[in-house]
Amino acid sequence: MLEWQIDLGATEAIGEVPVNRYEEPAQKPKPKTPAPEAPVAMQPLQVDFSQVARAAAGAAQDLDALQAAMAGFEHCELKKGARNLVFADGNPEARVMIVGEAPGVEEDRQGKPFVGAAGQLLDAMFAAIDHGRDHADNPVYITNILPWRPPQNRDPKPDEIAMMLPFVERHIELVNPEVLVLMGNISCSAILGQKGITKLRGNWMEALGKPVLPMFHPAYLLRMPSAKREAWADLLSLQARLRG
């Protein structure tokens, strides 16, 4: 149609009569009774993905099944930007389970928790009380609140934590450690519902039916070496507890 008009010599796209574009559109008269065939307005379906996660986590009867369930969970945006699922490291028979925050760049690359600079410090800290992820007699087991690296190592968002928390809780239930060590504010707020690591650290608490020891995160200790003194006191408290 347009080509035909151009062939006829039309050079400007203007109408025959001016259009007032500020004018209110004329109201259509409302039908007195709704047409019987009028479609019912559909409400968008609200899905609580933490419930989806809870069902998937609850169905996992062992750690391999839990890892597979997490790998197949498609509702957390972080998964799209991550190279690997970071599930756990160490010995699931350990008496001590350490819960960190989220993988960083090196953890994302290797698919293992705490293998970057903070992880090296974590290993040194536990070696100082004769524990380690590969220790024959005194092993530890390590995981994180989030299994996928947040972009640019930003803090995990509350909805990401809430969505993945059922997996962490099931993880703890399946490993069934004697004590939990929570590294830093993110894992304390997720597991204990409390923030303020400076006040929390070193105070034994209880969560998920386990004794819990909040500690400074090793990444914080790298930035604030003067806080290693408190971390050492907390490690000694852990050691005393394990010795009964």
Instruction: List residues near ligand URA by CB under 6 A.
Output: 100-104, 107, 113-114, 116, 118-119, 144, 183, 219
Q: By C-beta, is 101 or 123 nearer to ligand URA?
A: 101
Least spacing, CB of residue 70 vs ligand URA, in Å:
15
The span from the CA of 127 to the CA of 114, in Å, is 14
Strand partners, 90: 141
Does residue 179 contact residue 211 with C-beta atoms inside 8 Å? yes
Least spacing, CB of residue 106 vs ligand URA, in Å:
8
Least spacing, CB of residue 51 vs ligand URA, in Å:
26
Least spacing, CB of residue 39 vs ligand URA, in Å:
50
Nearest 5°: the CA angle 138, 143, 145 is 145
Task: Give the DSSP letter of residue 27.
Answer: P
Q: By C-beta, is 54 or 230 nearer to ligand URA?
A: 230
Strand partners, 179: 96
Q: By C-beta, is 102 or 175 nearer to ligand URA?
A: 102
Least spacing, CB of residue 226 vs ligand URA, in Å:
20
Give the nearest residue (CB) to ligand URA.
100
Alpha carbons within 13 A on the beta-carbon side of 67: 13
Q: By C-beta, is 5 or 196 nearer to ligand URA?
A: 196
Number of H helices, E strands in the chain: 11, 6
Q: By C-beta, is 58 or 92 nearer to ligand URA?
A: 92
- For residue 112, the SS3 value is coil
